Each structure stands twice: as structure tokens, then as C-alpha cells.
């Protein structure tokens, strides 16, 4: 608020910034005057709010080329404008959120303050420290990717922050003990080949270590690729290994398997029909045709070659000896693998689904809903890999027996003896059931039965009506009644 004193009157006018709600009061000499903001029915005598400063991402240490975002939040009302500070200096930013690209000058303590109108300002927020972690870069002179014995090479370690750094050098993660920012090497053999990198530190009481620089390789390192790129190769499959060197051309190649040299100088090693002996650990090297300089060996590549597995054939129902019209279920599986389809065989001939036979779940299950003499025989199965042309040998066989049974009934009393006939010729069976355990074509014929009772006086019944059995047809359980 403002106090305006009119010189022509003993009165003064107390006015608010918006010019509203003014009133007059009588001036008295020798007094100091002050005012507070007020409105009808409301007075605000509280403290101004304190902003909350947040940062995304929340890393204290960030690298050059990254970006961080600061947000200044005031919990009370709206209509605020913002001031941003870094190390106490105004950043000339007025938005609620600011984005700071991380560079060498981005490190420091950030804070914010909010204002509303001409006279209302919040406290300054708590500070957030942003640390910029320097990057270390290695350069090589001369900048050849391939160096050979007798040549010299220098590496320089650069860090773009201030001074006072001490440098640490490494070859293949082994400390070299050098401390300057330049490392010069005279190449004299295999001891110098490898990957070089540097690290910078500063301070004695509290050390500040940078991350490692990127690695610089003295010699190209070949890599081995495999086609098809699969974990397991089965015997009989073809596979190709290729030795690849990124740099230039003019190489000839050497191969090693399990540490022993192979007779091949091509970039590709082709295995036409793999055997178990082809499995092992492979490495390759490159050699310049003109200078005969060699690369280091590639990383090891393990080739797994396995025999094609044989599926396991199992009976899922209770027994293999079934009567006509009973159901049978067989299962064919590779152990711990669902990558196969299956083919079924009976007596060496492929089995297809029909009215009585159904195949389920990648053809892994065969179900006979109602067995007949047509289904008796030796069953087996084979597997076929879904993704490649790999076929297994056939499983062991299960023999299914389908029985035929005749029953002879007479509904008068008991004590009867049963006589059986085939095509009019009496059979040796004497019980009321006649069962054919192994049904063959010679069992085709007309079957009938007869009963008799008594010893002194023999009562002999007439023969029953004959029942025709055709082994080629579907047979059910027969009952013969007298």
C-alpha cells in the first residue's frame, strides 16, 4: 500500500496498489506511519510461501550432451512469475520449468523464486547442486586402425574441464603406470597389441575419477558369425562359419578348432553334413597377403552338434490288449521340447485320421475311439522339426492286440456244458465264452454253440444260430443265445 500526503490538508490518503478501498485519516506530527494490505472481511498477515524446486532426471552427476529439467512449484494459488538463479546469479528465465543442456558451464547450485504483482515475492527455494561429469577422450596418432611391428603410435588423453589432472593408462584393463596425458608406444610384437584407454583423476585428499574413455584398438579383431544362427545343430544339417574383419580387404584366413589348426584359408568354413566330430570351439585369424601381418584371434565360437533325438512312444490308456469297441490313446513326444511335429505308423505304413482315429496337438497324440481288428498291429512314430528339415528315426514299437469274444447264453437253470463250433466243426473250448486272442484271417468263419447237461441221461440242446466273423471288417462283441 501507499501513503500519499496532501500538503494542502491536514489529512492523508491511504491507498492500495489497485486504487481501491482508500480512506482519509488526520495527520499528526512527530509520528511514523505504516500500513498493511487489507480488504473488506479479509486480512492476510501470514508468511509468503516457499517454492519447492525439483529436478528430472534426479542424477546428481550428469554428462555433457545430456539435458536436465528444473521445476519451481508454489503451493499457494496461481498467477506467479518466476526468477531462476545459478550460484546466486539471475538466469533471466521466467517460466515455471527450465531445461538446462548439460555442458561444461552447466554445473552449479540452482534455485528459484516466485513473484506476483509488484510487491509480493516468495522466499528463495532450497538449492539443488548439479554436477557435470567430464568426459575423457582418447585420440590416436597416426590414426591407423591397423598397426604393425616397427611402427610407433601415440595416444593422447583429453578432458575439457579445467586443469590439474593426472592421467592413468590401461592396456586391456591392465594398468601401465604412465601418468602423463600422452602415451607413446613403439610396436615390437604381440605384447603391444590390445585395447588402450585412459582415465583422469584430480585431488589428493578427495580423488575425483572420471569414467574410462572409449577403447582404441591397435589391431583389428575378427569375429565369427554362424548361419543358420542356431544354438544346436543336428547331425546331417549344414552350417557355415564366417570370419569377418571390418577393416579393408586383402586378407587370407586361418581357422582353429579346439586349439588345432584346420586346413582352410577361406573366410568361410562350410560344413555340409554335420557330424558329432564337427562340434567344438572355433577361432579364426586374418593375415595380410602382402605383408603377412596377422590379426589377433577372434573370440571363441562354440558349435554344438547333437544326434537327432528319437521320440518316446507311450500308451496313455490302461492296456494294449483290448477288446473290440474299446478306446486306445498313444502319445509321441520329444523330451522337453515342443518344436516338433509327428508322423504315425502302423505295421510300417503311415496312419491318417479317419472316423475311428484322431490326431491331436501337433499330431503328438493318436486316439482310437473304438478298436477293431483293423487297428491291431505294431505302432510307431517319428518327429519332424517345425523350423528346419530335420527328421528323426522312428520310435520303438508298441503292439496293439484286439480280441474277439463270443458268449453263449441259455436262460434255463444251470449245470450246462458249452460246445463251440466253427463252420460246423467242434472246437476244444467248453466254457460259455469263446475268445480269440490273436485275430487272424484264418479266424474268419461262422461260429455257433450248443449246450448239454447230465451224465446218465444226456440232454443236448440244438445248436445256436451261427454268427459270421469277418476278420477284415469291424468286429464287435458277439453274444449267441440259445
pTM above 0.75, yes or no: no
Domain 312-401 in the same topology as domain 136-217: yes
Does domain 223-306 match CATH 3.40.50.300?
no
Q: Which residue has the higher pLDDT, 1 or 221?
A: 221
Domain ranges within the chain, ordered by starting residue: 2-43, 52-133, 136-217, 223-306, 312-401, 402-481
> Cα(272)–Cα(257) distance, rounded to whole angstroms?
17
| Strand arrangement, sheet containing 136-141 | 136-141, 152-159, 182-186
Question: For the residues 454-472, what does the mean pLDDT come to?
Answer: 73
Highest mean pLDDT: which of 272-286, 353-367, 446-460? 272-286
Q: Which residue has the higher pLDDT, 432 or 300?
A: 300
Q: Is the pLDDT of residue 478 over 50?
A: no
Task: Tell which CATH architecture fits domain 52-133.
Answer: Sandwich (2.60)
Tell me the three cell numbers of residue 386.
517345425
Q: Is the pLDDT of residue 323 over 90?
A: no
Q: Is the pLDDT of residue 309 over 90?
A: yes
Query: How are beta strands 340-346 and 349-350 bridged, if at all?
Result: antiparallel
- What is residue 205's predicted lDDT score, i.e. its pLDDT? 60
Q: What CATH number does domain 312-401 carry, 3.30.360.10, 3.20.20.70, 1.10.730.10, 2.60.40.10?
A: 2.60.40.10
> Cα(241)–Cα(228) distance, rounded to whole angstroms?
9
Residue reference for cell 586374418: 286
- Give the model's confidence band at 41: pLDDT under 50 very low, under 70 low, under 90 confident, else very high: very low
- Give the model's confidence band at 84: pLDDT under 50 very low, under 70 low, under 90 confident, else very high: very high
Closest CA to 340 of 330, 332, 328, 331: 332
Listed in order, strand segments (DSSP E) in 160-263 are 166-171, 174-175, 182-186, 195-202, 208-209, 216-217, 223-227, 233-234, 239-244, 251-257, 260-262
126-136 residue pLDDT tens: 999 988 877 78
Closest CA to 311 of 357, 356, 362: 362
141-178 residue pLDDT tens: 887 766 666 678 888 988 876 677 888 888 888 888 87
373-384 residue pLDDT tens: 788 889 999 999
- What is residue 223's predicted lDDT score, i.e. its pLDDT? 92
> Cα(382)–Cα(348) distance, rounded to whole angstroms?
11
Q: What CATH number does domain 402-481 carry, 2.60.40.10, 3.40.50.410, 2.60.40.3620, 3.30.565.10?
A: 2.60.40.10
Tell me the three cell numbers of residue 17.
496498489
CATH number of 136-217: 2.60.40.10
**305-322 per-residue burial string, b: 16 or more CB within 10 A, e: under 16:** beebbbbebeeeeeeeeb
Residues 458/452, Cβ–Cβ less than 8 Å: yes
Amino acid at each position: 500500500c501507499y501513503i500519499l500526503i496532501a500538503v494542502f490538508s491536514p489529512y492523508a490518503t491511504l491507498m492500495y496498489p489497485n486504487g481501491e478501498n482508500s480512506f482519509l485519516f488526520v495527520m499528526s506530527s512527530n509520528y511514523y506511519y505504516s500500513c498493511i494490505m487489507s480488504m473488506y472481511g479479509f486480512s492476510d498477515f501470514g508468511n509468503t510461501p516457499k517454492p519447492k524446486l525439483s529436478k528430472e532426471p534426479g542424477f546428481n552427476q550428469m554428462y555433457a550432451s545430456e539435458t536436465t529439467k528444473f521445476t519451481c512449484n508454489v503451493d499457494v494459488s496461481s498467477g506467479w512469475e518466476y526468477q531462476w538463479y545459478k550460484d546466486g546469479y539471475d538466469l533471466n528465465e521466467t517460466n515455471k520449468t527450465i531445461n538446462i543442456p548439460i555442458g561444461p558451464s552447466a554445473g552449479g547450485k540452482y534455485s528459484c523464486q516466485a513473484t506476483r504483482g509488484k510487491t509480493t515475492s516468495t522466499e528463495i527455494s532450497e538449492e539443488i547442486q548439479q554436477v557435470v561429469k567430464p568426459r575423457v577422450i582418447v585420440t590416436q596418432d597416426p590414426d591407423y586402425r591397423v598397426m604393425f611391428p616397427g611402427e610407433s603410435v601415440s595416444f593422447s588423453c583429453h578432458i575439457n574441464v579445467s586443469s590439474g589432472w593426472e592421467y592413468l593408462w590401461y592396456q586391456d584393463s591392465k594398468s601401465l603406470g604412465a601418468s602423463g596425458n600422452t602415451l607413446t608406444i613403439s610396436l615390437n610384437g604381440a605384447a603391444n597389441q590390445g585395447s588402450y584407454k585412459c582415465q583422469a583423476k584430480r585431488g589428493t585428499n578427495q580423488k575425483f575419477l572420471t569414467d574410462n574413455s572409449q577403447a582404441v584398438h591397435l589391431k583389428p579383431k575378427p569375429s565369427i558369425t554362424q548361419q543358420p544362427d542356431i544354438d544346436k545343430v543336428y547331425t546331417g544339417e549344414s552350417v557355415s562359419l564366417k570370419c569377418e574383419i571390418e577393416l579393408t580387404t586383402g586378407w587370407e584366413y586361418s581357422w582353429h578348432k579346439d586349439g588345432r589348426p584346420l586346413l582352410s584359408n577361406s573366410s568361410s568354413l562350410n560344413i555340409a553334413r554335420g557330424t558329432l566330430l564337427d562340434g567344438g570351439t572355433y577361432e579364426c585369424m586374418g593375415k595380410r597377403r602382402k605383408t603377412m601381418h596377422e590379426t589377433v584371434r577372434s573370440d571363441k565360437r562354440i558349435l554344438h552338434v547333437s544326434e537327432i533325438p528319437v521320440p518316446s512312444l507311450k500308451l496313455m490308456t490302461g492296456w494294449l490288449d483290448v477288446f473290440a469297441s474299446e478306446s486306445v490313446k498313444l502319445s509321441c513326444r520329444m523330451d522337453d521340447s515342443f518344436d516338433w511335429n509327428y508322423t504315425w505308423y502302423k505295421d510300417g505304413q503311415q496312419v491318417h485320421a479317419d472316423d475311428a482315429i484322431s490326431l491331436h496337438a501337433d499330431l503328438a497324440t493318436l486316439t482310437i475311439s473304438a478298436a477293431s481288428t483293423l487297428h491291431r498291429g505294431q505302432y510307431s512314430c517319428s518327429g519332424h522339426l517345425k523350423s528346419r528339415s530335420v527328421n528323426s528315426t522312428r520310435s520303438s514299437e508298441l503292439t496293439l492286440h484286439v480280441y474277439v469274444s463270443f458268449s453263449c447264453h441259455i436262460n434255463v437253470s444251470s449245470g450246462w456244458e458249452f460246445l463251440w463250433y466253427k463252420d460246423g466243426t467242434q472246437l476244444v473250448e467248453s466254457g460259455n465264452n469263446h475268445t480269440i486272442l490273436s485275430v487272424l484271417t484264418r479266424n474268419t468263419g461262422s461260429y455257433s454253440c450248443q449246450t448239454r447237461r447230465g451224465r446218465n441221461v444226456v440232454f443236448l440242446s440244438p445248436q445256436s444260430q451261427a454268427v459270421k466273423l469277418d476278420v477284415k471288417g469291424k468286429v464287435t462283441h458277439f453274444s449267441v443265445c440259445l
